[in-house]
Amino acid sequence: MKREQWGSRTGFILAAVGSAVGLGNIWRFPYMAYENGGGAFFIPYLFAMLTAGIPFMILEFTLGHKYRSGAPKTLRALNNKFEWLGWFQVMISAMIAFYYVVVIAWAISYAYFAFTQAWGEDSNAFFFGEFLGVADDSAPSKLGSLQWHLLLPLCLAWAATYFATYRGVKGGIERINKILMPLLFVMVLLLIGRIIFLPGALNGINWLLEPDFSKIWDLKVWSAAYGQIFFTLSVGFAIMLSYASYLPEKSDINNNAFMTVLMNCGFSMLAGIMIFGALGYMAQAQGKDLTDVVSSGVGLAFVTLPTAINLLPAPGIMGPLFFCALMFAGISSHISIAEAVTTGLMDKLGWSRPKTATVFCSVGLVVSSLYITQGGILLLDLVDYFINNIALLGSCLVELLLVGWLCRLSDFKAHANRLSEFSIGLWWTVCIKFVSVGILLIILSNNIKTAFSENYGGYSNFEVNTLGWGVLALMLVLAVVINLNSKQEVRS
């Protein structure tokens, strides 16, 4: 059977941008830029983009395009001892898919709450207490009863991903992204257009952009920039590679990679302006300093911004708009994570797409319901920490080592250049083999050291060792076992 294909170049780019632009652009990037030198952060950030983001994106697009399969089969085609890495990446994607969807479910609920600001005056107590049911004695290993009100939003979030992965590349994924991405962009522009005219908003944006050049010499800032680039572009764990495996024969790989990266980073800037505009307004309205209101992650999206929305004019419009934007950014990323798993399984096991999508999304719904129990957010937090800080970066590093050092990198360069408008040269090879590898080594060893020296989030030894390290070890062992048992296939 002929492999599915994207319907158009725009469709592919929108899907790739949809994957890259996610919750991280909205709740991670702005804070990170603010914390790490404001306007001056753009220097390490642009540097990271040019030396790691774009080269890695080109590599993933090339591998997917050249071997026309998901990560396990592609890596096996390179060398049958590499296949485990593909499965490890697929497992990372699956693990992320199981909890990322929960945040989308929260966003769906909050989009609904936002019509009436149902979170009330104390958005913190509402979110953790009433909404998630976290109790004083909640812990990652001690989950309470299912929060039934979250089941419907969770099913809705899975339904969107199920539709996309079931219908396939052109009729599902491309179609959804062609609607969601332009809408997301317009919604963010509308939000910015209103927010910047609020008193204090420009102060907030100034806080974000004001450069602190002294930070440039701080190694932590550089490692933050690189860490953010790998995360924000969703490279290194099977996702972009899977999307690229559906590219038509004639595809401008280098150009597509540049556009995807630039659009993702452009969107991050817009999100930064939106968030800091809102925070600046909030600080002024409450007579506080920005440092008292600035936050990131779950706290920013579900505690700080609901309070800011209470203070906005027309909160019943701005609120739903913001949470729908969060939802759309999340759904398009979640689809790509699920597709990485779907493609990997389909290509390796020879299952049909409908069967694969149905099995994966059903299993996913069951597993993810763990996270909508009382205290489930703590489990989510712990798993996310280990996946993001250790597994993901480890997978990026090993991919670069295997592909960059043990394969003929020049073959991939030639493949990328063959159809591309502009060619990549020595800088690409240097960035893949040395710059990215070196930086990843530094960041990863640092993260591992930190994870060993202190229990993340104050969770117990038992929890960190089982739910953190234990899960990672299990994934690794499983991946190796699959690799060892993989039958020698006849190359077609």
Residues that bind ligand PHE (CB under 6 A): 19-20, 22-25, 96, 231-232, 234, 239, 333, 336-337
Nearby residues of 171 by Cβ (< 8 Å), 6 or more positions away: none
User: 99 vs 276, which CB is nearer to ligand PHE?
Assistant: 99
Q: Which burial class, exposed, middle or buried, applies to 167 when counting CB atoms under 10 A from its CB (0-12, 13-18, 19+)?
A: middle
Is-contact 360 341, C-beta < 8 A? yes
At closest approach, how far in Å is the CB of 300 from ligand PHE?
13
Q: How far is the CB of 430 from ligand PHE (least distance, A)?
A: 25
Q: Give whichever of 269 and 401 is closer to Na ion, judged by the CB atom.
A: 269
147 touching Na ion, by CB under 5 A: no
Q: Which residue is nearest to ligand PHE (CB)?
A: 22
Written as one letter, the residue type at 486 is S
Identify which of residues 107 and 312 has a Cβ nearer to ligand PHE in the complex: 107
Binding characters for Na ion, 224-263, by CB under 5 A (x = yes): --------x-------------------------------
Take residue 58 and report the two structure tokens written for it.
């080109």
**Does residue number 332 form part of the binding site for Na ion (CB under 5 A)?**
no
Q: Which is nearer to ligand PHE, 176 or 239 (CB)?
A: 239
Distance, C-alpha 362 to centroid of its chain: 22
Torsion of CA 465, 468, 469, 471, to 10 degrees: 110
In the complex, minimum distance from the CB of residue 231 to ligand PHE, in angstroms, rounded to a whole number:
6
CB-nearer residue toward ligand PHE: 290 or 380: 380
Q: Which does 274 bind (CB under 5 to 8 A by kind): ligand PHE, Na ion, none?
A: none
Nearest distance, CB of residue 117 and ligand PHE, angstroms:
26
- 186 Cβ partners below 8 Å, 6+ apart? none
List Cα–Cα distances, 166 to 70, 303, 368, in angstroms: 16, 35, 19
Note the helical H segments in 23-70: 23-27, 29-35, 42-48, 54-67
Alpha-carbon gap, residue 192 to 374, rounded angstroms:
35
Identify what 87 binds: Na ion, ligand PHE, none; CB under 5 to 8 Å per kind. none
Alpha carbons 433 and 82: distance in angstroms, whole number: 18
CB of 239 to ligand PHE, least distance (A): 6
Rg of the chain on CA atoms, in Å: 22
Q: How far apart are CA 490 and CA 103, in angstroms?
A: 42
Q: Which is nearer to ligand PHE, 233 or 293 (CB)?
A: 233
> What is the nearest approach in angstroms of Na ion to the Cβ of residue 354?
29
Q: Choosing among Na ion, ligand PHE, none, which partner's interface includes residue 228 (Cβ < 5 to 8 Å by kind)?
A: none
- Binding site partner of 96, from Na ion, ligand PHE, none, Cβ cut-off 5-8 A by kind: ligand PHE
* Amino acid in the structure at residue 437: V
Write the interaction track for Na ion spanning residues 25-54; mark x where CB under 5 A is met and - where it is not.
Answer: x-----------------------------
Cβ closer to ligand PHE: 330 or 375? Answer: 330
333 touches which of Na ion, ligand PHE, none (CB within 5 to 8 A by kind)? Answer: ligand PHE
Instruction: Map the footprint of Na ion across residues 11-30, applying CB under 5 A.
Output: 20, 24-25
Minimum distance between the CB of residue 242 and Na ion, rounded to whole angstroms?
17
b/e sequence 14-26, b meaning 16+ C-beta within 10 Å: bbbbbbbbbbbbb
**Rounded Cα–Cα distance for residues 453 and 466 (Å):** 16
Cβ at position 15, least distance to Na ion in Å = 14
Least distance to ligand PHE, CB of residue 100, Å: 6
User: In Å, how far are 63, 74, 84, 364, 487 from 490, measured between CA atoms?
Assistant: 20, 14, 19, 32, 9
Q: Is 333 in the site for Na ion (CB under 5 A)?
A: no
Task: Pick the closer one to Na ion by CB: 119 or 231.
Answer: 231
Pick from 305, 315, 317, 227: nearest CA to 271: 305
Residue 19, binding choice from Na ion, ligand PHE, none, Cβ under 5 to 8 Å by partner class:
ligand PHE
Given the rule CB under 5 A, which residues bind Na ion?
20, 24-25, 232
